[in-house]
Amino acid sequence: MNKTTELYSGKAKTVYETDSPDHLILEFRDDATAFDGTKKASLARKGAVNNQFNAFIMTQLQTAGINTHFVEQRSANESVVKRLAMIPVECVVRNIAAGSICKRLGLEEGQTFAEPIFEFFYKDDALHDPMINDAHILAFQWATADEIEQMKQLTLAVNNILKPLFAEAGILLVDYKLEFGRFHGELVLGDEFTPDGCRLWDADSGEKLDKDRFRRDLGNVIEAYEDVANRLGITLT
Ligand code: TMP
Ligand code: ASP
C-alpha cells in the first residue's frame, strides 16, 4: 500500500490517503502536545514508540473481539488503518481519580472508584473538549442512540481487556480515552491507544508512566513509555 496525498495533520499524527479508498496510513510523529495544543515539544523516538505500542494494543483488542481500524504496522512509525468516518466525541473511562474529574468534583487524585466511570467529551480543542452527554450527541446528530450504546459498551469492554493486561505488567490503568468511527456503516474503534491518551501508574510506587510526565514536566517521558512497552513484552525497534 502506498501513500498518496496528505489528508490531515493532527497534533501527534499525520494521516495519508493511499491507493486504496478504504485505507489510510497513520504516521506517528515525535511531536508532543498538551493543554489543547498550547504546550508543545518534540520528543525523540516518540513516534516510533507510540506506533509500536498502539500496534500491540490494537492487536490485543482485535484478538479479544473488539472491532478496530488497525490493519498492520508498515514501518517503525507508520501503520495502515481502515478509513473511518470519525464521530467527534471522546469516550473516557476512569478507574481511579485523576485529571479533570478531580478539578470538576473536588476529588483527591488516587481514589479508586467502586465502578468504572464513563464520560463523553466533545472533541474541540478551541472549546477545551467540553464534557457532554447522550442528549448532546443525539441533538447534534453526531451518533444514533444505538451507536451511543455501542460506544459505551465497547469502551467498558476495552477496560476489561486492558486492565488485567497492564496489571500483569505491574501497572494500574487509571483512565483512558477512545475514539470511534464508522466503516461501511459499522462502528469501529479508531485513533490510537498509547500513553498519550491514558494514565498508567506503577502499581507499587505510583510513579506516573504516561503523558502526565510531559504535562507536569516530570522528565523522562519517552523512557517511561518505553518502560511500559518493555513490561508488556513489546519489542521496540
Ligand atoms: P482528563 O482527565 O483530562 O479528562 O482525561 C482523561 C483521560 O483521557 C486521560 O488519560 C487523558 C485522556 N484524554 C485525551 O487523551 N485527550 C482528550 O482530549 C481528553 C478529553 C482526554
Ligand atoms: N489531548 C490534548 C492535547 O494534546 C489535551 C491533553 O492531553 O492535555 O492538547
Question: Would you give per-residue pLDDT tens digits along the chain (237 residues)?
Answer: 899 999 999 999 999 999 999 999 999 999 999 998 899 999 999 999 999 999 999 999 999 999 999 999 999 999 999 999 999 999 999 999 999 999 999 999 999 999 999 999 999 999 999 999 999 999 999 999 999 999 999 999 999 999 999 999 999 999 999 999 999 999 999 999 999 999 999 999 999 999 999 999 999 999 999 999 999 999 999
Residue nearest to atom 9 of ligand 1 (CA): 198
The DSSP bridge partners found for residue 182 are: 85, 187
Q: How open is the CA angle 63-203-220, to the nearest 5 degrees?
A: 90
Residue 202, exposed/middle/buried by CB under 10 A (0-12, 13-18, 19+)?
middle
Judge if the beta carbon of residue 29 lies within 6 A of ligand 1.
Answer: no
Q: CB-based contacts of 65: which residues, under 8 Å, 6+ apart?
A: none
Cell digits of residue 108: 483527591
HSE-up of residue 201 (Cα within 13 Å, Cβ side):
16
Residue nearest to atom 18 of ligand 1 (CA): 129
Judge if the beta carbon of residue 100 lies within 6 A of ligand 1.
Answer: yes
Distance CA 201, CA 163 (A): 12
- The label of the residue with cell 490485543 reads 60
Residue nearest to atom 4 of ligand 2 (CA): 34
